[in-house]
């Protein structure tokens, strides 16, 4: 896996629900860019559905190293988290978090029934969200004096990237830049400011 390659993920946060023999299943998915964001989504769903019997998490995040995680959350071993994660793997989705909420309906589904239901919940939620190709981005921060701020702003504008400027004691520009273009952009910033720019980076 290259940091520069595009990857597949869900287009937006979405959920989908269905019932099997009295048990209600709700699949939730969200695009994320960090393990922390994935964990936060899991915590958010658990808090919202704290009356559920189970909230089963699974995620795949392009961290260093690549992170995959799933947990059965009290269901029989291998019957819930793994099937949820398998759907994400099978669809080659990355930077995605999923949680499947289950309200127990009084009838045991058996391991096979659980595997099917947890897998379906993630599939349905992914279908609801839609799948998109994303290009990896990283954060570029440039800090300069006021004399250089106009020139640096022009560089960011001509690069057609999203950025915010904070005019304090010095001027800080925070931009989201495609990983493939980041090195060239930093070189250009150094060049136009004759090395006066302070640069920081934070990839995702």
Q: Which domains can be identified in the chain, with CATH numbers?
A: 7-134 (3.30.230.30), 137-203 (3.30.70.240)
Contact partners, residue 178, CB within 8 Å, separation at least 6: 135, 136, 137, 161
Tell me the torsion sign for CA atoms 92, 93, 94, 99: negative
Residues 138-190 have pLDDT tens digits of: 889 999 999 999 999 999 999 888 899 999 999 999 998 888 888 999 999 99
Q: Which residues of 93-117 are buried (b: 16+ CB within 10 A; e: fewer)?
A: bbbbbbbbbbbeeeeebeeeebbeb
pLDDT number for residue 195? 94
Cα gap 141→129, rounded to integer Å: 32
176: phi then psi, degrees, rounded to nearest 5 = -105, 115
Residue 138: CB atoms within 10 Å: 16
pLDDT number for residue 119? 98
Average pLDDT, the chain: 93
Residue 2 pLDDT > 90, yes or no?
Answer: no
Segment 58-80 mean pLDDT: 94
Residue 1 pLDDT > 60, yes or no?
Answer: no
pLDDT number for residue 4? 58
Residue 203 pLDDT > 80, yes or no?
Answer: no
**Helical pair 179-192 and 146-158, crossing angle rounded to 10 deg:** 150
């Amino acid at each position: 896996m290259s940091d520069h390659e595009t990857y597949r993920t869900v287009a937006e946060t979405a959920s989908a629900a269905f019932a099997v023999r009295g048990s209600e299943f709700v699949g939730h998915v969200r695009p994320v860019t960090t393990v922390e964001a994935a964990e936060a989504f899991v915590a958010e769903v658990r808090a919202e559905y704290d009356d559920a019997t189970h909230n089963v998490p699974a995620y795949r995040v392009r961290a260093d190293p690549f992170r995959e995680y799933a947990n059965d959350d009290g269901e029989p071993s291998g019957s819930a988290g793994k099937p949820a994660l398998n759907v994400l793997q099978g669809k080659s989705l990355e930077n995605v978090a999923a949680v499947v909420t289950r309200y127990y309906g009084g009838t045991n589904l058996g391991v096979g029934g659980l595997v099917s239901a947890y897998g379906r919940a993630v599939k349905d939620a992914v279908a609801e969200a839609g799948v998109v190709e994303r290009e990896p981005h990283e954060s570029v921060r440039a800090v300069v004096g006021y004399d250089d701020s106009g020139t640096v702003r022009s560089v960011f504008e001509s690069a057609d990237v999203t950025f915010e400027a904070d005019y304090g004691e010095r001027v800080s520009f925070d931009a989201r830049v495609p990983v493939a273009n980041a090195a060239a952009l930093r070189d250009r910033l150094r060049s136009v400011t004759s090395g006066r720019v302070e640069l920081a980076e934070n990839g995702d």
